[in-house]
Amino acid sequence: MTRSFLLWQLRQDYTTVLRVKGLSEAAIIWRHALYNAAGPVLAIVALTYAYLLEGAVLTETVFAWPGLGMYITDSLFASDVPAVLTATLLVGVIFMVVNIASEVIQAALDPRSRLA
- 16-58 pLDDT, tens digit per residue, is 999 999 999 999 999 888 888 888 888 888 888 878 887 888 8
- The answer to whether residue 116 scores a pLDDT higher than 60 is no
Residue 6 near residue 35, CB atoms below 8 Å: no
- Give the pLDDT of residue 115: 63
- 76-98 pLDDT, tens digit per residue, is 999 999 999 999 899 889 889 98
28-61 burial, b at 16+ Cβ within 10 Å, e below that, comes to bbeebbbebbbbbbbbeebeeebeebeebbeebb
d(CA 61, CA 72) in angstroms, rounded, equals: 9
- Give the pLDDT of residue 57: 83
